Amino acid sequence: TVVVLGSVNMDLVTTTAHRPAPGETVLGSGFATVPGGKGANQAIAAARSGADVRFLGAVGDDAFGATLRATLDGAGIDTTLLRTVPGPSGVATIVVDGDGENSIIVVAGANGRMTDLTEAELATIAAADILLCQLEIPLETVTAAAHHAGSAGTLVALNPSPVQPLPARLWADVDLAIVNSLEYEQFSSTLGPVAHVVRTLGADGAVYRGGDTELVAGGRRVDVVDTTGAGDAFTGALVATWSQGAAAALNWANAAGALATTQLGASASIPGREQIAAAL
Ligand code: ADP
């Protein structure tokens, strides 16, 4: 089992020719609500790659919360322990202008309420093969979960995104780090002791380093439509196939990430098993 402990948001995407200045009102050209959050996106990616996935996190008691839960359920993810807490679900308000530039405001909402772990959540982490975390829920909770997993023999995978300073004791429990170029630069001084490091290179693919082993998955030629969510698709696909060995997982994830760029949106563009297998 892959246990994903992380965020789940509703993305509120508004498109407009130009963004309003302070005090100005403009007419937008479109609006959509799209399930998102790095935790949810990576969980969906892992499930579409064929993994047995359980999600730990929280939604609000608003309408978005019900929709987000149904979205995870619909992806075949076990949401038995997904909490519903009083107040709003996490939301990301996204404005995309005519130049394709975006402005984003993320409100943590229910994600910010994950300040501790229940006995049931801890037991689920201990029973898992892999724990996968990102940094969109409180850092103390990620640190505690990683430590619990480490002592139970559960492999700890961390995608340290969005970038923020991390305590050394968190790194001490990480077995597999999945970083993009920005995160790699930020954490280069602390990644040394991590047993397995996978670095994504956008259009240039990804590289793996583990002990003396280095593996390269070259960039795949695709017709890029939207790179949003490519990293999440890559990460979920990687942990889903990690038990098959680093080389197989790296190639699988690299294909998943590339395919995710060929369609619009984050969660909607995450490829499934057949699609990835066909591309390979
Ligand atoms: P992030 O989206 O987190 O910044 P990257 O840009 O490194 O991460 O992309 C993650 C993965 O998605 C890459 O390792 C690669 O497999 C795939 N990918 C991203 N952009 C492209 C692209 N333009 N062409 C082919 N594959 C891509």
> Residue 104: its pLDDT value, please?
87
Is the Cβ–Cβ distance between 238 and 249 less than 8 Å?
A: yes
Q: Is the CB of 269 under 6 A from ligand 1?
A: no
CA of 241 to the centre of ligand 1 (A): 18
> Residue 90: its pLDDT value, please?
98
> Residue 192: its pLDDT value, please?
87
218: DSSP letter: E
101 domain-assigned: no
Residue located nearest, by CA, to atom 24 of ligand 1 = 203
> Residue 226: its pLDDT value, please?
80
Q: Is the CB of 202 under 6 A from ligand 1?
A: yes
265 domain-assigned: yes
Backbone angles phi, psi at 53, to 5 degrees: -115, 135
CA of 245 to the centre of ligand 1 (A): 21
175 domain-assigned: yes
Kindly state the helix (H) or strand (E) to which residue 36 belongs, with its residue range: strand 30-36
CATH of the domain at 127: 3.40.1190.20
> Residue 61: its pLDDT value, please?
98
Q: List residues with catalytic annotation.
A: 232
* Alpha carbon distances (Å) from 241 to 49, 51, 182, 227: 8, 8, 25, 22
Cβ–Cβ contacts within 10 Å for residue 245, how many? 10
Angle of helix 139-152 relative to helix 119-127, nearest 10 degrees, comes to 50
Ligand 1 atom with minimal separation from the 181 CA? 7
24 domain-assigned: no
CA of 223 to the centre of ligand 1 (A): 13
Out of 159, 178, 180, mutate this one to test ligand 1's pocket (max ligand atoms within 8 Å of CB): namely 180
Say how many residues make up the chain: 280
Q: Copy the structure tokens of residue 122.
A: 């801890």
> Residue 17: its pLDDT value, please?
94
**CB under 8 Å to 147, separation ≥6 — which residues?**
169, 173
Backbone angles phi, psi at 152, to 5 degrees: -95, 0
Query: How many domains is the chain built from?
Result: 1
CA of 260 to the centre of ligand 1 (A): 9
Q: Is the CB of 252 under 6 A from ligand 1?
A: no
Boundaries of domain holding 141: 2-9+36-89+109-279
Q: Is the CB of 279 under 6 A from ligand 1?
A: no
Tell the burial category of 259 from Cβ atoms under 10 Å away from its Cβ (0-12, 13-18, 19+): buried
ipTM topping 0.85: yes
CA of 205 to the centre of ligand 1 (A): 6
110: closest CA among 132, 83, 133, 92? 83
CA of 230 to the centre of ligand 1 (A): 5
14 domain-assigned: no
Residue located nearest, by CA, to atom 9 of ligand 1 = 202
pLDDT tens column, 66-109: 999 999 999 999 999 999 999 999 999 989 888 878 888 999 99
Given a cut of 50, the residues of the chain with pLDDT beneath it are none
97 domain-assigned: no
174: closest CA among 219, 152, 201, 143? 143
Out of 184, 235, 241, 261, mutate this one to test ligand 1's pocket (max ligand atoms within 8 Å of CB): namely 261
29 domain-assigned: no
Q: Is the CB of 198 under 6 A from ligand 1?
A: no
203 domain-assigned: yes
